[in-house]
Structures are given as structure tokens and as C-alpha cells.
Amino acid sequence: MMRILAISDLMYRAVITLYPTSFLRAHGEAMAQLFRDSCRDAFRQDGVVGLVAVWGRVLRELIPTIVSEHLTEANVMQRGLVREWSEGDARQRREGGVGVVDASGYINADGGDAIYEIVERLLAVDLRRIVLNCSDMKRVNSIGISRLRESLQQIDSRGGKATMCGVSSTIAKTFGVMGVTQLTDLYETEQDALVSVELD
């Protein structure tokens, strides 16, 4: 019994690698565990017939759900490429399994909203490791920072991790006073920020 379940588990783990990496990172382990539980109970109840029934259900949903997750990810990454406001813009891109938000110009209420929106889009495709690159950020105001804090808190509440890089010394001081640095670490270069966010 144990052997057939172990083989079934291995096969399922191989099959689900077809899902997008970010989806797999967020839910792969839980899916594998759910599949394992389903197989164990079905096998106990109906033997091999039960196991085959579970596999039948999985295979029926496999192609549609894999296609759907890939399409969702591609769509979100394309749609949210640039978000502009009167005094700046925010762009999203992807570096491996990390979502990067490039924010430039003046981060006021509109800028903060734009960053929040992009962060939400990244979280929607399970890119929960996010680097906010502030190299081209010129100024910030209190509402922009407040929205930025909400973005960081949102990432944290979804089990993700965020880091920031390229913050000028003036803005870094303001971030310190406004409590942003309690929510995330600041790095000089994007590379350092990427390494840190990927390590955790």
C-alpha cells in the first residue's frame, strides 16, 4: 500500500511542475499534501479503484488549470507594465521568481496608489517576493509613504517578503522617521535586494 501511494505521490509532484513557478511556490506543497491525503483515504476505502478515481479527477482538471494559471500570469505581467501619474511612474518587471517594482518621480498619494496597485497585481499571480527599486525616486510625501507602508503590510499579510533598494539618503531618513524601515530592509543595489529576498 505504502509503495503504490509513494509512487503516486512522486508522479503527482512531477506533473505539477507544469504550473507556473510562482503558483507552485505559493501552493505546490499544499496541493501535493491535499493529493496525498485524497489518495490515502481513497485507497483505504476503495483500494486501487479509489486511487484511479482520484487520478481521473486530477487528470481531468490538469490541462485547463495549468493553461488558466499560465494565462493569468502572462496577462497580469503584461497589463501592469507601467502605471503613470502626473509626477512619476511605477513599472513592474520580473527577475526570476521575484517581482520588481521600479518607482520614479514624486511619490505622493497617486504614486503610492500606483505602487499599491502593482503590488496587488504581483501578489495576484503569487509573486510574493517583491523588490521596490527606488533609484529614480525623487521625493516622497506623507500620504505616499502611508500608502507605501500599506503595500509592505499587504505583502507581509500574504506571507510574502519585500525589500527596497536604491533609496537616496534623504528619503532613507524620512523612511526611518515614518517607520518604513521597520517593515523592510534597505539595500544599496538591486542585486543585494534580490539576493536577500530570495534567500528567505
* Pick 127 or 186: Cβ nearer another protein: 127
User: Interface with another protein includes 23 (CB under 8 A)?
Assistant: yes
Task: Give the Cα separation of 105 and 10 in Å (integer).
Answer: 50
Mask of contacts with another protein, 62-91, x by CB under 8 A? x--xx-xx----------------------
* Pick 34 or 195: Cβ nearer another protein: 34
DSSP string of 39-94, one letter each residue: HHHHHHHHTHHHHHHHHHHHHHHHHHHHHHHHHHHHHHHHHTSEEEETTEEEEEEE
User: Interface with another protein includes 126 (CB under 8 A)?
Assistant: yes
Task: Give the Cα separation of 101 and 78 in Å (integer).
Answer: 14
User: Interface with another protein includes 57 (CB under 8 A)?
Assistant: yes
Task: Give the Cα separation of 42 and 167 in Å (integer).
Answer: 55
Chain contacts with another protein (rule: CB under 8 A): 16, 19, 23, 26-27, 29-35, 37-38, 57-58, 60-62, 65-66, 68-69, 116, 120, 123-124, 126, 150, 157-159
